[in-house]
Chain A
Amino acid sequence: MYPRLTRTLLAALCLCGLGACSSMPSASDSLYQQLGGKAGISKTVTMFLYQVVDDDRINHYFAGVNADRLQKRLTNQFCQLSGGPCHYGGDNMHKVHAGMHLTDADFNALVEDLILAMEKRRVPISAQNRLLGKLAPMHAQIVGK
């Protein structure tokens, strides 16, 4: 569909090599819009938390957590990450997950639940990918802490 664009991007990626291009120019404001603004993000986060609660692999980590507060924090975080007019006021990812000893398996399960939630909410694939791309680097601050 976009052969020229694809070729140019491929060429650019090849030129800068594997791994060196983590900051591709992205339309952050349009990501916020694609996610449906703050209202859409809030619904996606709620769906995400439903998925997590249903997921026996990881739901035990969330026992006793104030779901309402978590929902608001995550909504603000995703909103801010996607370029929206929000402020994530919570602690940094490292501090939040300290002492939980989360594994790669836990992290993968969490990502899977988010993808399934976005699919249920019919979030466009490009917006799903861009949001995942912004969340993926948090792996280093979340796993094994």
Chain B
Amino acid sequence: MKSLVPLIIAGVLGLAPSLASAAPGSRLWATGGVTSFEGAAGGGLTPWALIAGYDSSQQWGGTVAQSTAHLQDYTLNVTAAAVSFDNRVELSLARQRLDLDTLGGRLSMDTLGLKVRLYGSALYNRWGEWSLGIEHKHDRNFALPSAVGARSSSGTDVYLAASKLFFGVVAGRNLLLNADIRATKANQTGFLGFGGDKHDRYQPEFEGSAGVFVNRQWLVGTEYRQKPDNLNFAKEDDWMDLFVAYVPNRSLAVTAAWVDLGAIAGLKHQNGPYLSVQGSF
């Protein structure tokens, strides 16, 4: 997997122009969401039911994204890519690096994601859009997670996501609501391994987000992500953010956010700015 990430990203970058010229995705602007830190289409911290990119019937879509968050004691960097087909299936790959600015060292993991749209449409269906996703994660450094009580260096999350756009309901603006239920054993989404000395079983966690399209290019919203608390050495907090996404066209999305990740590995109040730039087709 080590050499796979740059290879796939290069592949997507190389394919993007040719696929885009062959069959430009015809989904409406911003309907691929942006790239979450785990690589799947979503917001910043949570996946949405939307499929990455702009592919509609029989079309290909894709995204590449670079994201960073600067917290009090940590710096997060994510490189991610996704390809999608038929607005039905999305395959994503992400490499996440967490620099331990205060503690010293770096944690790194890879996430391979698959999302399938099961039913509906966020725009056109009264019951919204429903997707099932899996995220297989593997820690590239396991010494620290192991030392603090993590049981495994890899794990697989499964989530069910629902997304729905409500037309003109907030001061005439469109409201996008998303909800996920996720089964996971991940500690700090996997940076600190999977399972722990306190709990070592799958637990259901809720994730939700709400955003308002100020116009078709600007989405302002918030996300919340519940997390398990598997390790005795330090308490794990839920995550949240406030975000602004700018989607000027089908090629570019820029997301700025303020993320609050709570306590991480005993260091409290980890919050700070987040920036993500996505190219798509």
CB atoms of A129 and B128 under 8 A apart: no
- In the bound assembly, the distance between CA atoms of A133 and B172 in angstroms comes to 11
Distance A137 CA – B28 CA, assembled complex (angstroms): 16
- Is B173 engaged at the interface, CB distance under 8 Å to the other chain? yes
Q: Is B248 an interface residue (CB 8 A)?
A: no
CA distance A132 to B123 in the complex (A): 10
Whether, in the assembled complex, A26 has its beta carbon less than 8 Å from a beta carbon of chain B, the answer is yes
Name the 4 nearest CB pairs between A and B, nearest first: A126-B172, A133-B167, A129-B168, A139-B124
Contact indicator per residue, chain A 78-114, by CB within 8 Å of chain B (1) or not (0): 0000000000000000000000000111111101100
Q: How many of chain B's residues have a CB under 8 angstroms from any CB in A? A: 34
**Is A125 in contact with B173, judged by CB distance below 8 angstroms?**
yes
Asked if A105 meets B58 with Cβ closer than 8 Å, knowing A19-B126, A22-B126, A111-B28, the reply is: yes
Which B residues fall within an 8 A CB radius of A?
26-28, 56-59, 87, 121, 123-128, 162-164, 166-175, 177, 179, 210, 212, 215-216
Chain A, residue nearest B124 (CB): A139
Known: A104-B87, A105-B57, A125-B172. 17 other contacts (CB 8 A): A1-B171, A2-B170, A9-B175, A13-B175, A13-B177, A18-B128, A21-B169, A24-B166, A105-B58, A108-B28, A109-B26, A126-B173, A129-B172, A137-B124, A139-B121, A139-B124, A140-B124
Report A's interface with B, CB cutoff 8 A.
1-2, 5-6, 9-10, 13-14, 18-19, 21-22, 24, 26, 57, 103-109, 111-112, 115, 124-127, 129-130, 132-133, 136-137, 139-140
Q: What's the least CB distance linking B51 to chain A, in Å?
A: 12
Taking a contact as CB atoms under 8 Å apart, the answer to whether B168 and A105 are in contact is no
- How far is it, in angstroms, between the C-alpha of A133 and the C-alpha of B179 when the chains are bound? 21
A19 touches B164 (CB 8 A): yes
